[in-house]
Amino acid sequence: MNNKYLYIETFGCQMNVHDSEQMAVLLADIGYRLTDDPAKAELILINTCSIREKAEQKAFSELGRLMKLKEGNPDLIIGFAGCLAQHWGAKVYKRVKNVDLVFGTHNIHRLPEMVAAVQEERKKITQIDFYSEIHSLNIFAPPPKGSLSSFVSIMQGCDNYCAYCVVPYLRGREMSREPENIIDEIRKLTQCGVKEVTLLGQNVNSYGKNLEHGCDFVSLITKVNNVEGIERIRFTTSHPKDLSDGLINAFAELPKLCEHIHLPVQSGSNRILKRMNRGYTAEEYVEKVERLRAVCPGISITSDIIVGFPGETSKDYQETIDMMEKIRFDSLFSFKYSERKGTAAQALQGKVPEAEKRQRLKDLQVLQDRHTQEKNTALEGCVQEVLVEGPSRNSAQDVTGRTRSWKIVNFKGSPALIGKKVLVKISRGYLHSLRGEME
Ligand code: SAM
Ligand code: SF4
- pLDDT for 198-215, tens place per residue? 999 999 999 999 898 889
> Residue 305: what residue type?
I
* For ligand 2, atom 1: residue with the closest CA: 165
| CB of residue 309 inside a 6 A radius of ligand 1 | no
Q: Is the CB of 167 under 6 A from ligand 2?
A: yes
Q: pLDDT digits over 130-150, tens only?
A: 998 888 788 888 898 889 999
Question: Band of the pLDDT at 1, cuts 50, 70, 90?
Answer: low
* Cα 273 to averaged position of ligand 2 atoms, centre (Å): 13
pLDDT for the residue 132: 87
Q: Would the CB of 83 count as within 6 Å of ligand 1?
A: no
For residue 157, pLDDT over 90 is answered with: yes
Model pLDDT for residues 4-21, shown as the tens digit of each residue: 999 999 998 888 998 999
pLDDT at 2: 58
β-pairing, 408-412 vs 398-403, is: antiparallel
Distance of CA 177 from the midpoint of ligand 2 (Å): 18
Taking alpha carbons only, the member of 429, 430, 427 closest to residue 438 is 427
Average pLDDT over residues 247-256: 97
| Ligand 2 centroid from CA 144, angstroms | 29
The closest residue, in CA terms, to atom 2 on ligand 2 is 162
225 in Cβ contact with 257 (< 8 Å): yes
Pocket flag, ligand 2, residue 279 (CB < 6 Å): no
Ligand in nearest proximity to the CA of 158: 2
Pocket test for ligand 2, best of 162, 236, 305 (most atoms within 8 A of CB): 162
- pLDDT score at 97: 87
Q: Which of 119-123, 271-275, 420-424 has the lowest mean pLDDT?
A: 119-123
Ligand 1: does its nearest atom lie under 6 Å from the Cβ of 338? yes
- Give the per-residue pLDDT at 122: 86
Cα of 278 vs centre of ligand 2, distance in Å, is 9
- Res. 238: pLDDT tops 80: yes
The minimum-distance atom of ligand 2 relative to the CA of 203 is 5
CB atoms under 10 Å from CB of 381, counted, come to 9
| Residue 66 reports pLDDT greater than 70 | yes
Instruction: Give the pLDDT confidence score for residue 212 in this predicted structure.
Output: 85
Could you identify the atom of ligand 2 that is nearest to the CA of residue 278? Answer: 2
pLDDT band with cut points at 50, 70 and 90 for residue 3: confident
pLDDT in tens, 273-323: 999 999 999 999 999 999 999 999 999 999 999 999 999 999 999 999 999
Could you give the percent of the chain with pLDDT greater than 90? 90
Q: What is the dihedral of CA 231, 147, 420, 294, to 10 degrees?
A: -40
Average pLDDT, rounded, for the chain: 95
